[in-house]
Each structure stands twice: as structure tokens, then as C-alpha cells.
Chain A
Amino acid sequence: MSRTAATSLLALTALVVTACSSAGGSTGADAGPPKPGGTLRLGISSSPDCVDPQQVGTNASLNVGRQLVDSLTDQDPATGEIKPWLAEKWESNADSTAFTFHLRDGATFSDGSPVDATAVKTSFDAIKALGPKSQLGSGYLAVYKGTTVVDPKTVKIEFSVPSAQFLQASSTMSLGVLAPAAYKKTADQRCQGDGLIGSGPFVFESLKQNQEIVLTKRKGYNWGSSLFKHQGEAYLDKIAYKIVPEPGVRTGSLASAQLDAITDVQPVDEPQFTGNGFTEPTRPNPGVVFNLHANVTKGVLTDEKVRQAVVKGINRPEVTNTVLTPNYKPATSILGSATPFYTDLSPLLAYDPAGATALLESAGWLPGPDGIRTKNGQRLTAKVVFSLVFNQNKSVLELVQQQLRKIGFDLRIEQRTTAESVQITQSGNYEYLWYNTTRADPDILRNLFSTKANNRSKLSAGNPVDAPLDAQSSTVDPAKRKPAAEEAQRAIIEHGYSAPVFELTQVLAHGPNAHGVGFEASSRLQLFDAWVSGS
């Protein structure tokens, strides 16, 4: 049964049942100052197949892994700036091919060994050696040359080509540091928590697939990120991640106090937790927004005016207001608004059916008998491939399909499994791809659009995005990165290489007893400052 059907069934059931009973409202007692102790029971939507943050790429896994490891740096969610964590300070060379980190004193792994330069080198070399098994790290370290131990407190990490993105990558859990002893176990063993020894504020305790993951507080932790709201040990004694796949059961369990907090609140369930003692923290994902990524070598998408018309023919506010909720923002660039160096390009992304029609007319696409335009016998149609990584993908695309029909464009939507869409993406045999990507650095655009990287648009040399993408990659200086990143974002939309639609948003909900459940810069959970009251 589809998620939507199941959710509406439950909603209906809830209506019937609440009609015959009057549930007592929850009281929002004054929280007071943070109190250490207690367990946070957190309902999550899927079982993380693997809990090693260096290997996995799904939110379910990263939300666990983030609590287990410290990173060299941390990223300020508010400003995108990189701040000290395990490294007190750092410097990079002129072309961003070498980064030197100066480690702080006193940090240790949970097996007692010190977090020193050798440990950092061992960890980075091991991530590189994981290859594609390190789903995110392999991208961050694609041009990794090696790490040099300068002295016990200093490491120099080098790349074969400029890699300004590495500074932000060094703040992610994917490049979090594990103890040398961790690599005595196999990658598969670490996945199951065996030998997963980090220096983070929480320690792995147990993993029961499809059931529960338990982390316990690291005693004596005193080397938190400079961005944490308090120093010393975490507040919570334990975090119990309960795997609750059914969205309606997740919300019901929170409402009936069987859980303290939940992730992945579905758009249809959001109103349940507003203004009744519950809190709904939200944060848009940084990185590339959900978008129709055009392959400019296929079918009607070879015509730039067609691609531009599609960009203008999508009514983004209608998507977020009807299929989604106001917590989701209409796209205002190819990058999400929470991404560093994001540029607001909303004038380019305004709904403009007249402009779209004019473009198509000028390119010779004339209305056919069924309302879809044609030119020399060719129909104005393209196929978009998507998978259900986000539950509402299908409804969103069906709405976009209706919107584009009004300008005479026939968008055919085709759902595939994740595995299939990976293969289709790799083969390059697609017209539009529908996806989003989380990354709190504009370099993600280089990864997806540059002819030297994935080049999903299949651009050829001499295109207008390669140069600015290289430029933003060659320096960590914000004054130089910003204009380059802006030029790339503008070119991608002006040439219709992609039609951005909406920003994915993480929606949590927690009851009156949970506090400080928050997001880090990549919109994954940071639970160091979280605490529970009244237990």
C-alpha cells in the first residue's frame, strides 16, 4: 500500500476515534534550565543499514553517525562559516590544494587512545581506501593525494587539484575521525557498530536491525565543537532511535507520549503538532534543490528555448502550497537557501506562462490538436525519471506535469527504483532527471554540472558553467568564491540546464519534554545540546 493511502487511512481512522473520545491536552510546562540525564526516545522512519558515518549516505544513518564522531571542523548552520572543533585552527595554500590543521589538546577516542595527527592520517587514508563504499567521503576525497603528519598535533592534507570544498567537507560526519583500532575490524563489521570507536559525545551501545539503535553518553567528553551551546558532556544519558516506518504510527506514538521526538513528519501530518504543546523544528536542506535536470543532448531538450520555457512554465508556489506545506520553500535558485553562497534568483524562477509560450512560439513550436505543441512533426515532450526517495515526489511531478501541459509541454513521468535510477544516471540515457542533493557547499554544482565531473547535463567544452565552477573550487576566500558561485547558479538557470522546483525540508516534531533537538549545517541531527525534562 502506498504511503499516502496509508496515511489518509490513518487520518480517517483518527477522525473516527477522536470523535468518540476527548483526549486530554498536554501541558507545556516551563522548561527551565537544561537538565542532564534521561533518555531521548527518537522515532525515525527507516532502519539505517549501516551506522558507520564514514560509509553511509542516508539521513537515517548520518543522524546516528553524527553523534558518534567529531570532525576536524564544524560549520555554523546560520552563516555557513567553518569553525574550530578537533582542529583549533587551520590554513590552506594559495590554490587550495593543501590544508594544514592544528589539533586541540586532550581529545581522546572512547578506547582511550589520543586524537592525534597519526590517528587523523589513519582515518583519512582509510576513508579513501573504502572507495565507493564511502558514499559521500569518496566524493569529498576524490582528488585526495595524502596526509602528512607534520608533528603529533599537526596534519597536512593534500589534493592533486584545487579543492576549496574540502574545508566544508572536513566539518561533515562523513569525514569524522575514527580511532586507529576501528580499522582492525572490517568495513562490514563497523557498519554494524562493531569497532566503531569515535571521539564523539556519544558512544555506540547496540543495534537491532529494524528495531532500535542505542547510544550512550561519553563520560568525560570535553572537546565539543566551538558551535555547541554548552561545553563538557552531552546532557542526555542515552539516545534510543526507534525505527518506526509507518508515518501515522510515528505521529501517533509521539502524540501519545510513547516517543519524545520524531523525524520525517509527513506534510499531511504537520498540522497535528502545531500549537498544542508540541514543537516542529524545520530546516531546509542545503545543496541542490529538487529539480528537473536536463540532458541537453536528448530530444526536444537540445533546444535551449524549450528548456527555458520549462523553467518559466513551473508554478513553484503552487507546488509548495498544495502538494507540500508552507514549511517547504519554492526554489529560488538551483541551490537551496541554506547553502553558503546561495544567490536569490527568484525573478528568473517566477511563474511566467506567457513568457514560456512566447519562447516556444518564437522557436517554432505550435499548438497541436491535443494541446501539445509540435514542430516539423515532433511532439514537445520529454520524460523525467525519478525514484521515491522523497514520499511526495510523485504528487509533485504530477502537478508539474499539469502545469507544463498549460504551455503545451508534455512531461512524461517515470518512476524507477533507486538502483535503476542510479544505473540510468550513470548511462546518461535520460532526458530529465529528478533529484536533490544535500551538501552545504556550492561545490556540489561542480560535482553535478562540470564537464570534468558528473556532467549530468552532458554539456560540451566551452560551456558557460565550467569556468566559474573551477574558479569557486580554487580558493577558500569568500570574496572570490561568492561571485563565481553566483555566476554558475545564474548560468545554469538562464540556459535551462536545470529547472529547480522546491527545497527539501527536514521536519521534526517533539513533545513538551524534549528540548534542544536541532540541526547542524547539513540539516542532519545534532543532539549534543538536546535534553529531556520531567522524566
Chain B
Amino acid sequence: MTRYLLRRILQAVFVLWAAFTVSFVILYLLPGDAVSAKLGGGEAGLSVTPEQLAAAKAEYGLDDPLPLQYGKRLLAALHGDFGRSIATGDDATNMVVSALPPTLAVTGFALVLAILFGGGIAFAGTLTRHRWLGNLLLALPPLGISLPPFWVGLLLVQFFSFQLRLLPALGSNGFESLMLPAITLAIPTGAIIGQVLAKSLRTQLAEPYAEIALAKGASRSRVHFGHLLRNAAVPTLTIAGVVAGNLIAGSVITETVFSRDGLGRVTSSAVTAQDIPVVQAVIVLAALVFVVINLLVDLVYPVLDPRIRHRETADA
């Protein structure tokens, strides 16, 4: 187990390093740079002379040879220092960290809603004896995945905020402002959870052990919750990383539509401005989230499924 953990942690470090390096290379390959974007800002670089531009780049260390810049950045990043944002002058790590709470609030709430809705649909759809109802319910996840969140968000804002005036369209103040963005984000996420869980429940339902349990006279719901859920949960848990990714990516859209602060907005403006320090801080943080979630999932597998535990010990 310790060796296994060690191996996984080494893998995680490699993933973080790769995320850092690949983002650095891509951002440098892009034509243009953050200093030009900033100084050229309002009036198309009117008064900036090439000499001034060069001086400004030197100030941000953008004139060093590429390997040296990379080395400096990597070393600083190891100490949690991604540098100062070129666009705002604020500390990049600080910008990303202070954008986290509003994003976590929405994504956390969205995840709860997604599990409730997705799980509910999967259970109800596989549990019901009415074939038409089951088909109808299980048709919802594909529909939910195919609705563009951007459009859903605008639709919700138009109806609940502009027409009914029940919920605010803007801002990050209070629970009320969480509702619409969380629902927007929960729809595609819940759809994925529902889809995968329903599929596994159906597969498990066809297994002999389920048939035996039913034949012994156990109720359908008892079989579902008591027997099937544990086995069906493993594939669903596997997609936890995907779900987390979805939520983070979706926050770019919901935060724009609902004019909220957060990681999504920070990311989209940093990418537009080619603000390397901020983009890298975001990417490394996102990679960290992925790595940690996947590691946790891997550690939970053996707890849920003894067969995995036995295979692990056999391997070791």
C-alpha cells in the first residue's frame, strides 16, 4: 500500500510538472504577448514606441532567453509563487486563491444538485415497472448533456430574474445568487452522473445475483439499494474526475452569464490577455484538483469493492 501510494504521488507530481510545462510552451508559442496586449489596450498601441515596449517586456522578465524564463518560473512556482499578473499587477497566486471560494460555492452546490437529480433519475428510471416511464426518464440525461449551458443560463436568467424577478441576475451575494448558476451547472453534470449510473444499474440488474435476490422475494427497491448500488457505484465514481473537470470548465460559462467572480472569469480574462502568470496558476491548480480527486477515487475503490482489494494484494 505504501509503495502504491508513493507511485501514485510520483505520478501526480509528474502530471503537475507536465501541466506547468505544456501551458508555458503553448502560451509562448501563441503570437502576441501580455505586455503588448496591456500597453496596446485601449487605443491600439498608439503611443507605445518599440523601445518602450522592449523596456516594459524587460521589466516583466519577458526578454530573458526562453529556457531561463522557464527555469525561473518553475523554481518560483515550486514555492507557490507564480509571479505578478501583467494585466492587473496583482499577485497571480493571490488572484487565483481569492477566486476559489465563490467558484467552490457554486460548483459544490451544483454537485449536490447533480447527484440528487442524476442519481434520482437513474434510480427511478431503472426501478419503475412502467416501461414508458423508465424510457422517458432515461431519455433525460442525453437531453441534459446536449443542452448548451450558455443557453440554459440565459433562459433561466430571463425567466426567473427578468420576468418573475424572483432571483438576482448578477453578483455573488448570498444564497439567492447561487441558485441559478448552480442549476445551470448541475444540468450537464447531473446528466453525466445519471447516464453512467443508470447504465451500470441496468447491467447489474441483469446479473444472476440480482435475479436470485428478486427470486428470493426481496423487493425491487431493496435489491436496488441493498445489492446493486455498491457495484454500480464503481463506474460512476470513475468519472468523478470528469465531473470535476466539467464543473470547473462550466464555471467559465456560468460566471460570465451570471456576472459572478470566480476562477472561470479569472481564467477567461487571463487567457484573453495572455497573462501567463495567472493562466499557469489556474492550470496548475486545476491539475492539482484532478490529481487529488483521482487519487482519492483510487483509494476508495478497494473499500467499495473487495475484488479490487484482493487483486491489489495479489499483485504486490
Contact = CB atoms under 8 A, between A and B. Distances in A.
B67 interface: no
A252 B55 CA distance: 44
B86 to A, nearest CB: 9
Contacts of B262: 210
A204 to B, nearest CB: 15
Interface stretch (A8-16, A175-183, A399-407): A8-16
B253 to A, nearest CB: 9
Given A422-B40, A422-B44, A426-B50, A209 B266 contact: yes
Nearest to A187: B89
A211 interface: yes
B39 A422 contact: yes
Contact of B36 (A13, A188, A423): A423
Interface string B39-65: 111111111111011011000000000
Contacts of B32: 416-420, 422-423
Nearest to A211: B261
B110 interface: no
Contacts of A104: none
Contacts of B170: 43, 242, 244, 249, 253, 258-259
Interface string A209-236: 1111000000000000000000000000
A252 B158 contact: yes
Given A389-B44, A419-B37, A421-B40, A132 B55 contact: yes
Q: Which of B154, B155, B159 has the most C-beta atoms of chain A within 10 angstroms of its own C-beta?
A: B154
B237 interface: no
Interface stretch (B161-169, B211-219, B290-298): B161-169
B31 to A, nearest CB: 5
Contact of B46 (A1, A192, A419, A437): A437
B259 interface: yes
A426 B259 contact: no
Interface in A433-457: 435, 437-438, 447-448, 454
B42 A256 contact: no
B127 interface: no
Interface string A149-163: 000000000000000
Contacts of B55: 131-132
Given A17-B159, A437-B44, A188 B256 contact: no
A511 interface: no
A502 to B, nearest CB: 16
Interface stretch (A31-39, A51-59, A341-349, A476-484): A51-59
B169 A252 contact: yes
B265 interface: yes
Contacts of B269: 47, 49, 210
B88 A418 contact: no
Nearest to B102: A211
Contacts of B224: none
Contact of B47 (A43, A47, A139): A139
Contacts of B162: 14, 17, 252-253, 255-256
B88 A191 contact: yes
A132 B52 contact: yes
Given A10-B154, A56-B41, A423-B36, A138 B161 contact: no
Contact of B56 (A132, A256, A420): A132
A136 interface: yes
B37 A435 contact: no
B154 A6 contact: yes
Contact of B88 (A192, A244, A253, A255): A192
Interface in B105-152: 148, 150-151
A163 B30 CA distance: 39
Contacts of B256: 245-246
Contacts of B87: 49
A423 B31 CA distance: 9
Contacts of A381: none
Interface residues of A, number: 70
A78 interface: no
A9 B273 CA distance: 27
Contact of B257 (A17, A132, A249, A426): A249
B239 interface: no
B84 interface: yes
A197 to B, nearest CB: 17
A416 B40 CA distance: 13
Nearest to B95: A209
A246 B257 contact: yes
Interface string A112-142: 0000000000000000000111011011001
Contacts of A389: 44
B161 A192 contact: no
Given A9-B151, A256-B162, A422-B39, A188 B84 contact: yes
A503 B257 CA distance: 29
B43 A438 contact: yes
B163 A425 contact: no
A421 B44 contact: yes
B102 to A, nearest CB: 9
Contacts of B157: 249, 252
A246 B45 contact: no
Nearest to B44: A435
A461 interface: no
Interface string A42-69: 0100010110000011110110000000
B154 to A, nearest CB: 5
Contacts of A248: 154
B42 A422 contact: no
Contacts of B168: 258
Nearest to A208: B261
B41 A418 contact: yes
A187 B266 CA distance: 21
A131 B52 contact: yes
A208 B100 CA distance: 14
B171 interface: yes
B41 A58 contact: yes
Contacts of A138: 47-48, 52
30 contacts: A6-B150, A13-B151, A13-B158, A47-B265, A131-B56, A132-B39, A132-B47, A135-B42, A135-B47, A136-B42, A188-B84, A188-B90, A209-B95, A210-B260, A210-B266, A210-B269, A211-B259, A242-B170, A244-B259, A249-B157, A249-B170, A249-B257, A252-B161, A256-B163, A256-B169, A387-B44, A418-B37, A419-B31, A422-B45, A438-B43
Given A139-B46, A258-B170, 18 more contacts: A10-B154, A49-B88, A131-B52, A131-B55, A131-B56, A133-B56, A186-B89, A188-B89, A188-B90, A211-B171, A242-B170, A246-B154, A249-B170, A252-B158, A256-B162, A256-B165, A438-B42, A454-B46
The 7 closest A-B pairs by CB, nearest first: A188-B89, A139-B47, A419-B32, A57-B42, A422-B40, A419-B37, A132-B52
